[in-house]
Amino acid sequence: MTNSSGSRYAYRMYNVKPSAIRELMKVTRQPDVISFAGGWPAPELFPAKEMEKVCQKVLKEDGAYALQYGASEGYQPLREFIAGRMSDKGIDITADNIFITSGSQQGLEYSAKLLVNEGDVVICESPTYVGAIGAFNPYLPKYVEVPMDEKGMIMEELEKALIENPKAKFIYTIPDFQNPTGVTMSGERRKKLVELAGKYGILVIEDSPYGDVRFEGEKLPPIKYYDKEGIVVYLGTFSKTFCPGLRVGWVAAEPDIIRKYVLIKQGADLQVNSLAQREVVTFAKMYDFDGHVNKIIDSYKSRRDAMLDAMEKEFPTNIKFTHPKGGLFTWVELPKHIKAMDVFEKAIEAKVAFVPGDSFFPNGGDKNHFRLNYATMNEEKIIEGITRLGKVLKTL
Ligand code: PMP
């Protein structure tokens, strides 16, 4: 059956294509493939034993509430816990500024629902997080991509984009250990970005799932730290510092913006899982949350070192890659004439996988990059996988 325009599906779905990564993951899940593809954290670092005790405590002491409906804004002690952690970063914030989401992915989807009409311009880094493109696409935006260098989005290019697109709806940025490039925006540029957003009257969506997973170097304040006008909407998550399967994230913004997000939630899924929200707070009360994050940092740092060392040794010298100081990803640049998709096909034959980079460019075009995740595999597998990949690259 089709409607009068000849299509069964709503026009918002025209732009929605299967995620390249999800399709590739099917191949990469074969047991003998060493996969640097997905964005998954290392499962052995999940505090499963501790969570057994946490779950028991929550159900014993708070079972009736943990299994009941709750407020659409989120569980108040969790909002307070998050506001406290963000205040520690110098941000002037209270629980009233926090709205709990089902991961930051939901924060992305709700942001587009709240802000984007068909044809509106979204300004983003080039490349950007493929999941954000997927979250925004049903709202039919136009993307204006701003080039990056080793210090993040280039501010002169951003200003050009703002001048050329005076009605752009928001600037979407991942300032810390960006997915996919691993690049971090400098402190100077964070400040400048807020200045430009204020000057041109545009909101900033700051997506920072990796900000706390820093291995080395100076800690930088979130972009929201520089925001005195309430124009930065910060998206946070416990997926990379704790457990992605719990699906707990948040939006931090001015209370009037938070109220709009809450209205969306009331019409969507009412609230985030009551039990999961309590589990985060109870874990933080029973155990050392930062100590847990430090364990993740130590492990990913060793894996990053193992991967970059192996790449230095095994990759041909005409192949460049980023040196991230945190997060999960490094971004590889092939010479222009080599296509990442061709390398991918040969790599799969050699039983090693990564994500070709073109899906991270919302307007398409780039064919010679790919993303590697160093967090999921142990060091032995990393060295073996990079050796296999190096052999493939040497044949091109
Ligand atoms: N933003 C970015 C940049 C990400 O890399 C991810 C996860 N891969 C997300 C948002 C979504 O994370 P979650 O929904 O698990 O919080």
- Copy the structure tokens of residue 248: 């707990």
Give the distance (Å) from ligand 1 centre to CA of residue 194: 22
What's the rounded Cα separation, in Å, for the pair 267 and 272? Answer: 13
Tens-binned pLDDT, residue by residue, of the chain (396 aa): 555 566 889 988 887 877 666 666 677 778 899 999 988 898 999 999 999 999 999 999 999 999 999 999 999 999 999 999 999 999 999 999 999 999 999 999 999 999 999 999 999 999 999 999 999 999 999 999 999 999 999 999 999 999 999 999 999 999 999 999 999 999 999 999 999 999 999 999 999 999 999 999 999 999 999 999 999 999 999 999 999 999 999 999 999 999 999 999 999 999 999 999 999 999 999 999 999 999 999 999 999 999 999 999 999 999 999 999 999 999 999 999 999 999 999 999 999 999 999 999 999 889 999 999 999 999 999 999 999 999 999 998
Beta bridge partners of 249: 101, 237
The DSSP symbol for 12 reads G
Per-residue pLDDT, 18:
75
User: What one-character-per-residue DSSP string does 179-195 give?
Assistant: TTT-----HHHHHHHHH
The sheet carrying 232-237 orders its strands as: 98-101, 249-252, 232-237, 203-207, 170-173, 121-126, 142-149, 152-153
Give me the helices (H) in the chain, please: 20-28, 48-66, 76-87, 103-115, 130-136, 155-164, 187-200, 255-267, 274-286, 289-314, 340-349, 379-394
Per-residue pLDDT, 252:
98
Residue 209 Cβ contacting ligand 1 at under 6 Å = yes
Per-residue pLDDT, 30:
82
The DSSP symbol for 358 reads G
Residue 239 Cβ contacting ligand 1 at under 6 Å = yes
Give the distance (Å) from ligand 1 centre to CA of residue 38: 11
Residue 131 Cβ contacting ligand 1 at under 6 Å = yes
Residue 105 Cβ contacting ligand 1 at under 6 Å = yes
Which residues make Cβ contacts (< 8 Å) with residue 365, sequence separation at least 6? 358
Residue 104 Cβ contacting ligand 1 at under 6 Å = yes
Per-residue pLDDT, 28:
77
Give me the helices (H) in 268-332, please: 274-286, 289-314
Tell me what ipTM this predicted complex has: 0.99
Per-residue pLDDT, 4:
59
Residue 134 Cβ contacting ligand 1 at under 6 Å = no
* Domains in the chain with CATH codes: 11-47+291-395 (3.90.1150.10), 68-286 (3.40.640.10)
- Copy the structure tokens of residue 168: 């752009």
Q: Which atom of ligand 1 is found nearest the CA of 178? A: 3
Dihedral of CA 263/266/268/273: which sign?
positive
Which residues make Cβ contacts (< 8 Å) with residue 18, sequence separation at least 6? none
Q: CA distances (Å), 248 to each of 69, 123, 176, 239, 242, in order?
A: 16, 26, 19, 7, 10
Per-residue pLDDT, 17:
77
- Copy the structure tokens of residue 81: 């816990």
Residue 207 Cβ contacting ligand 1 at under 6 Å = yes
Give the distance (Å) from ligand 1 centre to CA of residue 37: 15
